[in-house]
Chain A
């Protein structure tokens, strides 16, 4: 018999969990789940600047790590020059300001930092991000937030194709439009597009929710329209307000896309939501 959970009563998801997906693999009481034993103790008021111009990406990443080990909690990267793989693998609390654009794989594999990028980002920004926030002030390339697992990933401008491919959690917010195949094989998490979405939106999505403020070129396989609930509206209003964004026609008029559940599906709760409910 399917178990009706508190999260379902709260409208956080509608799926009928069964079999293996009922496993409890997350214990909110275990504080160590949220930090790494080797994480540096940083002070957000301690600030450093780093000129990326003459440095190779590997050296920039090592310098960031070195500065964190010295307690710097606010780091400013200058002249990133669209270099690839900058600010990756940061498993620490950190305020990181990037004054320019990133190339491919920027801010990938991170868990914890809050990052603001003044320029644009190339392909696969924030791939496998686990926690923290990233705000990009301009546009983003394809596979934005690929395999995202947690945290908030926000692009104020337009995003390329296959955003949130294989997404496993977290939230992606796009101020502009997005390309084709966004949400492809999405398994969990939420995606918000305030502008238009390309074709094959949510193709083969297992679970998760996509909200679109503009026109949708076409839905992919097993992606179907969902019904906007009061909880959706309140969640969207709160999230968008956090980043100073607004839905062009109001959040109530956004389209909601969910999985048709003809494919296998997973638990779609965020760790923070689990903590709230359990």
Chain B
């Protein structure tokens, strides 16, 4: 969803309602990419975790290890010249930091993820990525997403089909280490390994074996080379093989693309003020219970909307 003309809304509550109405698609995990008010200057919002949810139930020393890992992350941020301005404990193992950092983002991200169990969920000026196991109501409550104000958001509720049920394999995907690029995807990419190999040769790293991550990195790489978001997405229709529909968000835009087979669902509501897309209309009805006009985008279709 995206609010247009610079407007904002309670995207945390709106997205939770949409995702909860789609719980039947798969309750394994739920993820949010929320775009709040952009931070100024060199400030970055860092979302990271240092353990998986099920790890917390098993390890004898996991609680101490989580503290040690977090301290190590703090130390490494400072070591690279970053300043921690504000911290929030989202859960015992997942954290939200506002930091001031002017250096190389990839170097910082690599250094943090070198800590055992650490994974950066997002690092951006506007993007905050939250994902965990369970349905939307559970994740929203756990991470206090009610009242999260912002311009646009992506969400995903997942039934794992081709990768594990863990936070790492949950959507949305952040295009590491590019600030503010996130993707959700429904489908299968059949040239995943070839595409991944090509991007790894260009220096990108992948955190999962999930084909959806490829789309995020692919688009971010194109944009890093100077392509506009819409052009990168149009190229993806030809260069990514398989059946897929995906949504991508950047700091100020939301885009959708559908492959030429059009075998994955997408319903679109478009108005002057607000855009809302979902796999099923029932999700849009959770935001607009009254009658509205919606339609299915067609095969090979790419659309991009700006928040401002």
Contacts and interface: CB of A to CB of B under 8 A. Distances in A.
Interface of A: 79, 81-84, 100-101, 103-104, 118-120, 122-123, 138-139, 141-142, 157-158, 160-162, 179-181, 198-199
23 contacts: A79-B289, A84-B280, A101-B294, A120-B295, A122-B265, A139-B293, A139-B294, A141-B265, A141-B267, A142-B262, A142-B265, A158-B295, A160-B262, A160-B298, A161-B263, A161-B296, A179-B262, A179-B296, A179-B299, A180-B260, A180-B262, A180-B298, A181-B262
Contact of B289 (A81, A120, A158, A198): A81
Interface string B265-294: 101000000000000111011000101011
Nearest to A100: B291
A142 B296 contact: yes
Contacts of A83: 282
Contact of A141 (B260, B284, B291, B296): B296
Interface residues of B, number: 19
Contacts of B294: 101, 120, 138-139
Interface in B246-261: 260-261
B261 to A, nearest CB: 8
B280 A104 contact: yes
A161 B267 contact: no
A139 B296 CA distance: 8
A129 B19 CA distance: 31
B299 A199 contact: yes
Given A82-B285, A179-B299, A101 B291 contact: yes
Nearest to A199: B299
Question: Which 9 pairs show the lowest CB-CB distances between chains A and B?
Answer: A82-B281, A161-B262, A160-B296, A180-B299, A82-B282, A139-B295, A82-B285, A179-B298, A141-B296
Contacts of A81: 282, 285, 289
Contacts of B284: 82
A79 B263 CA distance: 28
Contacts of B281: 82, 101, 103, 120, 122
A83 B289 CA distance: 12
A180 B265 CA distance: 13
A138 B282 contact: no
A82 B283 CA distance: 9
Contacts of B298: 160-161, 179-180, 198
A77 B299 CA distance: 32
Contacts of B282: 81-84, 103
Contacts of B289: 79, 81
B191 to A, nearest CB: 21
Contacts of A161: 261-263, 296, 298-299
B86 to A, nearest CB: 41
Contacts of A100: 291
A122 B284 CA distance: 12
A100 B259 CA distance: 29
